Amino acid sequence: MNLFLMAFKTFRRKRIRSALTVGGVAIAVAVLVTLLGFDAGYQQALERDIDRMGYQVLVTAKGCPYEAATLMLKGGGGLRYMEQEVHDRIIEDERIEQISPQLVTTSFGSGENGTSVSMFVGITEAHLSLKPWVTFASGGWFTDESADEAIMGYEAAELEQRRVGDSIYVEGIDRVFEVVGIFDRTGTQDDGVIFLPLGTAQEAFGLNGRISGIGIKLKDIGQLASFEEDLYNEPGIQVVSMAQVRGTILNLMSSARTLTSSIAAIAIIVAVIGVMNTILMSVFERTRQIGVMKAMGASRFDIFRLVWIETTLVCAVGGVAGVLIAILAGRVGEQLFRLILPYSPGGRLVVVSGALLSASMLGAVAVGIIAGLYPAARAASMRPVEAIRSAE
């Protein structure tokens, strides 16, 4: 008796019912794979963004720590500013290896698709010292620290269709800047930024002598705690370390992760119930067939295995379909996560590894094994004569 062949024929005989059950399992697996892939991808992307910031400490004006974390990793809006004199005092500390002041601001303009927002960052040449991996796709550094010139991030240049030598008109401040350089793609938020000389940015946006942050890299990371402690005595500023930023961002996404995990758990429970219901209906419809099989010599274990194989087959096919859906719809999932999360790091947010796919497939088979226990036991317990009579 070929139980696998019989189970496959039963699967094909009720195509619509089987397809609906497989679809339920596929959705549950796809949701699970996407969420687990997001959890891994977000962590990796966040660590990569932090590593590529180039500094270990950010000094900002006193305010909300969430704003400081957003400034550190994305730029943010509605930021507080501090006097550049703070930078001039801190730079004298011998524990500092590199220090870079910056001024983050935005400008609003109108276009064919409505209001547009451009992010500008005023920097000094120390910016390149903190990020030695940053290279130019074309052009080079500013000719003067107060020139009306701009260096564009890779994606900003692509979006604006600008090349070295072109001009940028900033409607919000009625100013024109010449593009003198375009950075190579970095995979971080810097790709969408337009950089200006710090002095030019301060003057153009009416923020003379003001900065929004100071990035600091120490000679010895072991001195970080004492360095932060000393800075607490500086009035009007707050100190944010990489560990604080990471913790803040993870706290921001924890509520969304709890919600999505609950959705995944509900989807799995619904899938198990759906599979169990489908197999039970199949068992009841084949009561006479099961009775005849037992009368012809099939053992209780043979019947149990037959129903169990049918259940596992449904879940295995659903698992394969769910994995394919998760792979094909990964980009859609990333866009949804970027919409609901306060901060989304650059790069891939959903990373689907081979180990994750294998674990998901094994999970789908495990669902089949669990969901098939009761229907299989119910079918195996039928008595031949009663099963045949009840079906008449």
Average pLDDT of the chain, as a whole number: 79
248 in a domain, yes or no?
Answer: no
Last residue of a domain, one of 235, 265, 286: 235
54 in a domain, yes or no?
Answer: no
On the question of pLDDT at 390 being above 80, the answer is no
Last residue of a domain, one of 235, 264, 285: 235
Question: 182 and 275 in one domain?
Answer: no
Q: Select the more confidently predicted residue: 389 or 262.
A: 262
Q: Among the residues of the chain, which ranges form H helices?
A: 3-13, 15-51, 65-73, 85-90, 126-130, 154-160, 198-204, 224-231, 242-285, 287-295, 300-328, 330-340, 354-371, 373-380, 384-390
Question: 326 and 190 in one domain?
Answer: no
Q: Which of 48-52, 237-241, 316-320 has the highest mean pLDDT?
A: 316-320
Give the structural domain span for 207: 63-235
252's CB contacts (< 8 A; 6+ apart) are 66, 341, 342, 343
Q: What is the mean pLDDT of residues 216-230?
A: 82
pLDDT tens by residue, 337-359 = 777 665 566 667 788 888 888 88
Q: Select the more confidently predicted residue: 329 or 10.
A: 329
Question: 73 and 125 in one domain?
Answer: yes
Question: 231 and 109 in one domain?
Answer: yes
57 in a domain, yes or no?
Answer: no
Question: 307 and 225 in one domain?
Answer: no
138's CB contacts (< 8 A; 6+ apart) are 163, 164, 181, 182
pLDDT tens by residue, 120-157 = 999 999 888 888 888 999 999 999 988 999 999 999 99
CA distance 168 to 89: 35
114 in a domain, yes or no?
Answer: yes
pLDDT tens by residue, 151-162 = 999 999 998 899
Q: Residue 362: name the closest of 327, 312, 325 by CA.
A: 312
Question: 97 and 14 in one domain?
Answer: no
133 in a domain, yes or no?
Answer: yes
Question: 221 and 83 in one domain?
Answer: yes
CA distance 228 to 222: 11
Question: 225 and 159 in one domain?
Answer: yes
Question: 172 and 132 in one domain?
Answer: yes
On the question of pLDDT at 75 being above 50, the answer is no
52 in a domain, yes or no?
Answer: no
Confidence of residue 203 (pLDDT cuts 50, 70, 90): very high
Question: 200 and 89 in one domain?
Answer: yes
Confidence of residue 253 (pLDDT cuts 50, 70, 90): low
Q: What is the mean pLDDT of residues 191-201?
A: 93
List the beta bridge partners of residue 108.
Answer: 117
Residue that the structure tokens 């270990």 belong to: 56
Q: Select the more confidently predicted residue: 220 or 3.
A: 220
Q: How many domains does the chain have?
A: 2
Q: What is the mean pLDDT of residues 204-222?
A: 87
Count of positions (residues) in the chain = 392
On the question of pLDDT at 280 being above 60, the answer is yes
Question: 186 and 283 in one domain?
Answer: no
CA distance 372 to 352: 29
Q: What is the mean pLDDT of residues 192-221?
A: 90
Question: 381 and 271 in one domain?
Answer: yes
Last residue of a domain, one of 208, 235, 262: 235
